Amino acid sequence: MYNTTYINLYWVNINEELLEDYREYVSSYEINTPLELSKLNDKIKMLVAWVVNDGYRANVSGYDDINYLDIYIINRDNIMNVMELIGLRLEEQFKAKKIPFDYNMTVQDEVNEGFGELEYYYLEYIDEEDFKKLVKELEEQGIKVEYKSQHISYFEKGASDWGESFLIGLGVNLTYDLIKSSIRKPRKVNKAKFDKENLKRNVGYNLDIAPASLKMIKIEPSQDDTMMNVVFEDRNNYYSVSCDRFECDLQKSPNCHIITTSKSSIDTPVF
């Protein structure tokens, strides 16, 4: 099956003396490929490293029907020439199509009939093979994974840094013992039960955007277990939604709010 992948390229200028970080959007590309997200990311990472060698970072997200790759090139001379060369390599290797920033995407929302409330688990910094093992064990027990997303982030400048996380939605409550039996050392396991589709509709209504464009990437319950923070993304922005765990209607909960952050902003969250 071919997935659509959207790639955004950004220039980052870091003034280490002033501790200032300036970012600027440069260009976008669309590709269609049957590659799994991790294999696609490996190929694009090699492509970028071939051009710039060192000094870049990326946020990579994979969903059932769409992938997002946001690549940030750090402190480069002749930045436009560098970006053009990356674009040419994408076109040569993946038949990428250059698209404008405000390109009107056609997205297919997840099948949501009968979902209602699901138990969502955010598994931070785990190995992909461990995650596949967990999914296989769930399927063997007759538990269907109704929702799944994957996120990879890495940084290459001198030393390397790498992280990977997964978000799954299930129709049953999962015991932590089952998670530990499949995953060796999850750094963090966040859990929350809510109606994702209802929340997406509320966020879309409040921001006047199509709910189908919102992809859920992360959940963080509050310490008092009454509120939760849910992060959605689309091609150009992140949406951090703070809401009542038991009331997804943002109009009915006075403590709810939404923070929109452009992916070109210095406040872009790190996952």
Quick: pLDDT tens for 176-215.
667 766 676 656 788 888 888 888 888 888 889 889 889 9
- Residue pair 216/231 in contact by the 8 Å Cβ criterion: yes
Query: How far apart (Å, rounded) are the C-alpha atoms in residues 3 and 66?
Result: 6
Q: Is 236 left (phi over 0), alpha (psi -120 to 50) or beta?
A: alpha
Query: How far apart (Å, rounded) are the C-alpha atoms in residues 35 and 22?
Result: 33
Q: Which two tokens stand for residue 105?
A: 């995407």
Express the helix, strand and coil content of the chain in percent, nearest 5 each: 25, 40, 35
The angle at the Cα of 237, spanning 235 to 241, to the nearest 5 degrees, equals 125
DSSP 8-state code for residue 35: S
Quick: pLDDT tens for 219-236.
987 666 677 889 999 999
Q: Considering the chain, what percentage of its residues have pLDDT values greater than 70?
A: 79
Q: Which two tokens stand for residue 16?
A: 């280490």
Q: Which residues pair with 60 in a beta bridge?
A: 69, 152
Q: Which residues pair with 124 in a beta bridge?
A: 165, 188
CATH number among 3.30.70.260, 3.20.20.140, 3.20.20.70, 3.40.50.720, domain 118-262: 3.30.70.260
Instruction: Please identify which residue in the block is written with the tokens 């849910």.
Output: 230
Query: How far apart (Å, rounded) are the C-alpha atoms in residues 169 and 221?
Result: 15
CA atoms 219, 228, 58, 68: torsion sign: positive
Closest among 1, 4, 2 to 213, alpha carbons compared: 4
The whole-number average pLDDT for the span 2-6 is 88
Phi, psi dihedrals of residue 52, rounded to the nearest 5°: -110, -15
Neighbours of 10 (CB within 10 A): 21
Counted residue by residue, the chain has a size of 271
Query: How far apart (Å, rounded) are the C-alpha atoms in residues 98 and 26?
Result: 11
Instruction: Please identify which residue in the block is written with the tokens 């027990």.
Output: 141
Fold classified for 3-99: Alpha-Beta Plaits (3.30.70)
Provide CATH 3.30.70.260 ranges for the chain.
Answer: 118-262
DSSP 8-state code for residue 212: G
- Residue pair 260/229 in contact by the 8 Å Cβ criterion: no
- Looking at residue 187, what is its pLDDT? 63
Quick: pLDDT tens for 113-152.
446 788 898 988 788 888 888 888 888 888 888 889 999 9
- Residue pair 21/75 in contact by the 8 Å Cβ criterion: no
Q: Global pTM?
A: 0.87
- Residue pair 98/87 in contact by the 8 Å Cβ criterion: yes
- Looking at residue 220, what is its pLDDT? 84
